[in-house]
Amino acid sequence: MNERQKLNINQWAEEDRPREKMVNKGVAALSDAELLAILIGSGSRDESAVELMRRVMASCHNNLNELAHWGVHDFSTFKGLGPAKSITIMAALELGKRRKQQEVRERQTIRCSRDIFELFHPLLCDSPQEEFWVLLLNQACKVIDSVRISTGGIDGTYADVRSILREALLQRATQLALIHNHPSGNCQPSASDRQLTQQIQQAARTMNIQLTDHVIIGSDKFYSFADEGLV
């Protein structure tokens, strides 16, 4: 253990202090590890907050999206990261996700599968289990509402056709899109995904409601039935 590692964060050399670096050089000058170090405030007796967070980031391939999947038990494997600091990091990552979601929600017109992906990716990218949602649209492709129909296990979820159409009828939607995630990251549709899409499309057609798309969301990519000519 060297002498600098024993010092309080306020006693470090100025170039090693992330708060001062932010003030002097701007927030964009800080690395992810330095930003996270500001959140936790201190490291352990063996290493500084910055060094600790560099190790944390290295363990998740320097990928904040991967870090966002961590729970308290994952952080606790690092000396110096107790529940309070872990929860602080998790809260900051959640705020970042919500900010992105709010930015997307300002664009309420759905024109393509990418619009659907950008709307739902913040909601579903970190979910450890499958969730099935329906996006309700009016004739002008404006969003009326988004409704979670069901939540399932890691391998699948159940979507009731009647529940989906009931939501569309109650909110007077003339168009709808289906969305669900694959926690595995593989967004290719299964045989049951294809069958369910056909069932909902046929049922919606009898009520003069158009199924515009079914989007399957993986970790950072998506599959669109509309783009593939399947709806």
Quick: pLDDT tens for 161-178.
999 999 999 999 999 999
Specify the DSSP class assigned to residue 172. Answer: T
* Interatomic CA distance for residues 135 and 161, integer angstroms: 14
Which pair of structure tokens corresponds to residue 152? 């399932």
* Interatomic CA distance for residues 167 and 7, integer angstroms: 59
Q: What is the mean pLDDT of residues 57-80?
A: 92
CATH class of 108-224: alpha beta
Strands 131-137 and 222-224: unpaired
Query: Which pLDDT score is estimated for 105?
Result: 55
Strand order in the sheet with 175-181: 143-151, 131-137, 175-181, 210-217, 222-224
Q: How confident is the model at residue 187 (pLDDT cuts 50, 70, 90)?
A: very high
Decide if pLDDT at 4 tops 80.
Answer: no
Q: Give the dihedral sign, CA 87/2/27/30.
A: negative
Q: How confident is the model at residue 160 (pLDDT cuts 50, 70, 90)?
A: confident
Specify the DSSP class assigned to residue 150. Answer: E
Decide if pLDDT at 194 tops 80.
Answer: yes
Pick from 200, 156, 194: nearest CA to 177: 200
| CA-based end-to-end distance of the chain | 63
Decide if pLDDT at 79 tops 80.
Answer: yes
Encode pLDDT of 121-143 as tens digits.
988 888 888 999 999 999 999 99
SS3 142: strand
pTM score of the predicted model = 0.60
**To the nearest whole percent, how much of the chain has pLDDT over 90?**
63
Decide if pLDDT at 228 tops 80.
Answer: yes
Strands 175-181 and 210-217: parallel
Higher pLDDT, residue 13 or 180? 180
**To the nearest whole percent, how much of the chain has pLDDT over 70?**
88
For residues 172, 114, 179 and 193, what is the CA-based torsion angle, rounded to 10 degrees? 120
Pick from 43, 1, 91, 86: nearest CA to 16: 43
Q: How confident is the model at residue 12 (pLDDT cuts 50, 70, 90)?
A: low
Which residues are within 8 A (CB) of 124 and not within 5 positions of it... i.e. 6 or more apart? 131, 133, 179, 180, 181, 217
Query: Which pLDDT score is estimated for 5?
Result: 47
- Please provide the average confidence, as pLDDT, over all residues in the chain: 87
Contact at 8 Å (CB) between 177 and 214? yes
Axis crossing angle, helix 49-59 with helix 32-40, rounded to the nearest 10 = 120
Which pair of structure tokens corresponds to residue 37? 């170090």
Q: What is the mean pLDDT of residues 193-210?
A: 95
Query: Which pLDDT score is estimated for 27?
Result: 87
